[in-house]
Structure 1
Amino acid sequence: MALFEEKYLTIHHNEDVQCIHMQWTGFATTENYKYGMNTGLEKVKEKHVSKWLADMANMGAISPNDQKWTNEDWFPRLLEAGIRTAAVVMSKDVFNQLAVKKIGKDMTDNSYTMHFFDDLEEAKDWLKDFEPQNS
């Protein structure tokens, strides 16, 4: 059952993996992107999970301003909420791929692990089995 559903995004709580699963389904305006990301963050807090699954296979480009907002505003709040691991299914859109890789590269928090996939099932399997290293 979906926790949130709009034409650009569906958010699920995947109980098998114990994660919030964000399934993007096209282009999201800045307003929709931020609303969707913030809603996902609220679901993390509600469900008390430490894992994040971002399925961006069908997502369009992410603007440079949205990339900056994600790194500077949203990611610190996500980490504060307890997320430590993310699996990202890469978009077919080359501009989205570049943006997501830049966002991942700009992350400097060592308590957070992000891994990229081309296949949703591989991403779920990895996330389900991943155990963070204690520092």
Structure 2
Amino acid sequence: MYTATEYICTPDLFAGAVPLQPLNSFFLLIFFKGALLMQLYFQNSFVKLSYDKHLQLGKAEWRGRLQGAELREAYLLCHEMINRFSLVRWLADDRLMGSVSPADLKWSLEVHVPQMAKSSLKRLARIPSQFEENRKAVEVMINKGYTFDLSLILRDFMHLEEAMEWLLEPSEMAVPQNRFAT
């Protein structure tokens, strides 16, 4: 029996995949239960980083409250993965990410945000945290992003499926007037 995955991709990326009807220029695939599309890059108790080099897609799934060196290392690993695979699409699943300390927010504004601004990313889909303190800190980071000349379009989503569909939409990756649409 087949089970559907949460991913949408082109049919040539996974041997054994069964392509269905076209969905806005790409195909929804059904995989055998347990098969993975994304390649694991890094995982610990707080974050799972994965990528698909063919789709130029990266994903960060955050769990819990990272702080200090752990958070900084995770952010730096995100940048390393983006640069290594020339990723243009990013999914930030922040639903379970805890609060960001003032010191980590300061570091993020000085290091993380500028590196994201000059990265190869063109689209960033984010599923916001359930924690208000995290959402406020990320809003500060996004506002800092406005100060850079970005070619990155950022959009928030409530559901993973909608985020993936938007990330994989064919587009010219043109930047609209409001680069941070929600």
User: Could you say which TM-score interval applies, normalised by the shorter chain?
Assistant: 0.7 to 0.9
Unaligned stretches of 5+ residues in structure 2 = 1-38, 177-182
Pick the aligned partner of 1:70 from 105, 108, 120: 108
Q: Is 2:167 the counterpart of 1:127?
A: yes
User: Between Structure 1 and Structure 2, whose CA radius of gyration is higher?
Assistant: 2
Letter in structure 1 aligned against 2:159:
D
The Cα shift of 1:15 comes to 5.1
Residue 11 of structure 1: SS of its match in structure 2? Answer: strand
Number of residues of Structure 1 aligned to a counterpart in Structure 2: 135
Q: Which digits, 9 at most, give the CA deviation of each residue in 1:4-40, with x for residues without a partner?
A: 0100000000457531101101111221111001001
Give the TM-score of the pair, scaled to structure 1: 0.88
26-35 vs 10-19, greater mean Cα deviation: 10-19
Name the % identity. 23
Residue 87 of structure 2: SS of its match in structure 1? Answer: coil
Residue 53 of structure 1: SS of its match in structure 2? Answer: strand
RMSD: 2.0
Q: Which has the higher helix share?
A: 1
Q: Which has the higher strand share?
A: 2
Residue 64 of structure 2: SS of its match in structure 1? Answer: coil
Letter in structure 2 aligned against 1:114:
L
Give the TM-score of the pair, scaled to structure 2: 0.67
Cα distance, 1:70–1:76 mapped onto 2, change above 3 Å: same
The Cα shift of 1:79 comes to 3.1
The Cα shift of 1:126 comes to 1.2
Residue 57 of structure 1: SS of its match in structure 2? Answer: strand
Letter in structure 2 aligned against 1:97:
R
The Cα shift of 1:80 comes to 2.7
The Cα shift of 1:124 comes to 1.2
Cα distance, 1:33–1:122 mapped onto 2, change above 3 Å: same
Letter in structure 1 aligned against 2:166:
W
Q: Is 2:69 the counterpart of 1:31?
A: yes
Q: Is 2:90 the counterpart of 1:52?
A: yes
Mapped to 2, the partners of 1:17 and 1:88 lie a distance apart of 17
**Kept in 1: contact 2:46–2:65 (CA 8 A):** yes
Q: Is 2:158 the counterpart of 1:111?
A: no
33-42 vs 43-52, greater mean Cα deviation: 43-52
Letter in structure 2 aligned against 1:10:
K
Cα distance, 1:130–1:31 mapped onto 2, change above 3 Å: farther
Residue 58 of structure 1: SS of its match in structure 2? Answer: strand
Q: Higher RCO, 1 or 2 (CA under 8 Å, sep at least 6)?
A: 1
Residue 70 of structure 1: SS of its match in structure 2? Answer: helix
The residue number in structure 1 matching 2:4 is none
